[in-house]
Amino acid sequence: MLSRRDFEKAEDLVYRSMSATACYNWPLLSTATGVDVWMKHENHTPTGAFKVRGGLVYAARHKERFPENPNLISATRGNHGQSLAFAANVQDLKATIVVPHGNSPEKNAAMKAFGADLIESGDDFDLAVGVAKQMAEEKSMHMVPSFHEDLVAGVGTYAYEMMQAHRDFDSIYVPIGKGSGICGMITARDALGLKTKIIGVVSDRSDGYAKSFETGTLCEADRSDTFADGMAVRCPDPDALDLVLKGAERVIRVDDDLIAKAVRLIYQATHNLAEGSGAASLAGLLSEQDAMQGKKVGTVLSGQNIDAAWIAQILSGQTPVVE
């Protein structure tokens, strides 16, 4: 279990490249939900998403442990890859990123701009992971997983910041992709000795963590065709699931229409852009807002990296459809 000292060490690495992000109480969000709601702005990082924190910690510690191997490889739908590309540049390492076919063109362009070599292979995230693992073995590259203690310590600094400043949250809604974000939130809460309830949010089109939480055993999702691509993961990570089972209050499903509604509300109330997974936290609150009346609730705008065509659709009242 990560301690306060572990998070402080991670903060030291993270803050060499970025500042702490804001957590605001936007009046229009509170009016729309009827809840004292606060939003953590992880869209205000150097890559536009919370993942960069984990990449910075992982890359720095990898360089210390394995100075003879500067070649990192991983699979992603976007934010994890941008994180590693950014962090690799900071540490003078090389990042190769495997993305599934049909991945966001704008996220692909961002990964390349941050210096990554990009490879498209596999029909979804889980298949892209297999390709990356095979390449790592064949080319003696270091495979960076989507879930690892160093990633959790890094991304968990956003939660540590959030709950140090607001120790009186009743609940915080957290989107779940592979699991580092919610595990960072759970471990930060426990390190600070707080009683805040952590509620995981998944897409109903990619609900492996919800199924697994309900059954107490690892279950894969049947599909992953959601425009909230940061949550489009069919198979939960076993280590992450173990922590979620022990530390989350519940894991809830939201549909793409509600996520799109949350993207619109965030823009209308704050003039920030949110990608699908970045708006899922607020969508989770919207689905339970009656039960949250009178409570102080946290949400996480975990990323802003949404393609222009999708944001145009959403702001015009539509919901993007993934084939």
**Structure confidence by residue, pLDDT tens digits, 54-103:** 999 999 999 999 999 999 999 998 899 999 999 999 999 999 999 999 88
Q: Which residues of 55-81 are buried (b: 16+ CB within 10 A; e: fewer)?
A: bbbbbbbbbeeeeeebbbbbbbbbbbb
147 HSE (CA, 13 A, CB side): 20
Mean pLDDT for 169-175 is 98
Q: How would you write 145-156 as a 3-class SS string?
A: CCCCHHHHHHHH
Compute the distance between CA of residue 157 and CA of residue 61 in angstroms, rounded to an integer: 16
What pLDDT digit, counting tens, does each position of 222-247 carry?
999 999 999 999 999 999 999 999 99
Write the Ramachandran bin of 198: left for phi over 0, alpha for psi from -120 to 50, otherwise beta: beta
Percentage of the chain with pLDDT > 70? 100
Q: Residue 323: pLDDT above 80?
A: no
pLDDT recorded at residue 124? 86
Q: Which two tokens stand for residue 184?
A: 């960072």
Q: Which two tokens stand for residue 317?
A: 């009242």
For the chain, domain boundaries: 4-49+149-315, 51-143
User: Range with the lowest mean pLDDT among 27-31, 98-102, 158-162, 294-298?
Assistant: 98-102
Global pTM exceeds 0.85: yes
For the chain, give the mean pLDDT: 96
What pLDDT digit, counting tens, does each position of 255-272 carry?
999 999 999 999 999 999
Q: Residue 104: pLDDT above 90?
A: no
pLDDT recorded at residue 268? 98
pLDDT recorded at residue 77? 84
Q: Residue 33: pLDDT above 80?
A: yes
pLDDT recorded at residue 321? 94
Compute the distance between CA of residue 134 and CA of residue 33 in angstroms, rounded to an integer: 47
Compute the distance between CA of residue 160 and CA of residue 184 in angstroms, rounded to an integer: 8
Domain 51-143 bears CATH identifier 3.40.50.460: no
What single letter denotes the amino acid at residue 86? Answer: F
Q: Which residues does residue 203 pair with via DSSP β-bridges, in sequence order?
A: 254
Name the fold adopted by 4-49+149-315: Rossmann fold (3.40.50)
Mean pLDDT for 132-137 is 96
193 HSE (CA, 13 A, CB side): 1
Percentage of the chain with pLDDT > 90? 93
Same fold for the pair 4-49+149-315 and 51-143 = yes
pLDDT recorded at residue 39? 98
Burial class (CB within 10 angstroms; exposed 0-12, middle 13-18, buried 19+) of 138: exposed
pLDDT recorded at residue 146? 87
pLDDT recorded at residue 28? 98
pLDDT recorded at residue 78? 83
